[in-house]
Every structure is written in structure tokens, then in C-alpha cells.
Amino acid sequence: MADSVCPLCQRDAEIVLWQDADCRVLMTPQAGYPGFCRVIWHEHVREMTDLAVDQRVHLMTVVWAVEAALRQALMPAKINLASLGNQVPHLHWHVIPRFSDDAHFPDVVWAMPRRPGVEHPVDREALVRELQRRLALA
């Protein structure tokens, strides 16, 4: 997939929570899944092993900071981490807060829903502050 057609290389209408020279953290609005985030490596690469070791460490440090910030801000039952890239082969991680009353719990969010989900509010500013705090400590 060329960069010109990769949806993760196109940065239109993104809700960027944090970014540095290597990657960015986006809030990805998903009905029923508050706080659903993506951590996207800026450079168009396909796999973790396309990165140098220090880049892998940096990327995972950001993923773990997003997880910790979401846990602090939303108090979910679980956090799901996923790096698939089957449909969009551009290195990115999904960081998904899960609630026992969401439509798919305990199944993955891409499964068939089990029930109508319950909405949980997200204070985006508080989440950004917590994410920035955790990344400053990293």
C-alpha cells in the first residue's frame, strides 16, 4: 500500500492526543467504546521488526503510557492491546478500554455484539493530561 493511499498516512480529521517526532496517539471515536485510542508510527512501516530496537522500545513505551492513562482516567474492567495491520499494513497499535457492560464484552470489539452497550463518558482533557504526565516520566 503506497503512502498516498494509506489511511494512517493521511492525517485529516484526526483527534491527536499526543505526538512526538516518531509517533502519535489518536482518540478514535467508536460508538460504545470511549477512549478507544490508536498509537501510530509516523513512518510507513509494516511490522515491529522493521524498527530499530530503540524505536520499538519507544513505541511500546508510548503504548503502555496510553494504557496506564486510560486505566487511570476511565477505570475500565480491562484494556485490550492489538496490533493487526491486516487491512491497513502501517504499524499501529489499538489501545481499547473495555467495560463489562460494553456490547461485545468479553469478546473482542470486532466480534458480533452480545447486547446493547452502555456509554461511558470520557473527559478528553483529563486523559490528555494523564497521558502527558505518564510520557514525561517515561
CA quadruple 127, 129, 132, 138: dihedral sign = negative
With CA atoms as reference, report the closest residue to 118 among 96, 102, 138: 102
Say if 75 falls within a structural domain. yes
Say if 124 falls within a structural domain. yes
pTM above 0.85, yes or no: yes
Task: Name the residue range of residue 107's domain.
Answer: 15-137
Say if 1 falls within a structural domain. no
What is the count of structural domains for the chain?
A: 1
Q: Could you tell me the CATH number of the domain that includes residue 110? A: 3.30.428.10
Q: What is the pLDDT of residue 3?
A: 62
Say if 43 falls within a structural domain. yes
Q: What is the pLDDT of residue 86?
A: 85
The number of angstroms, rounded, from the C-alpha of 126 to the middle of its chain's C-alpha atoms is 16
Say if 93 falls within a structural domain. yes
pLDDT tens for the chain, residues 1 to 138: 556 689 999 888 788 999 999 999 999 888 888 899 999 999 999 999 999 999 999 999 999 999 999 999 999 999 999 999 888 999 999 999 999 999 999 999 989 999 998 888 888 899 989 999 988 877
Rounded Cα gap, residues 24 and 62, in angstroms: 9
Say if 48 falls within a structural domain. yes
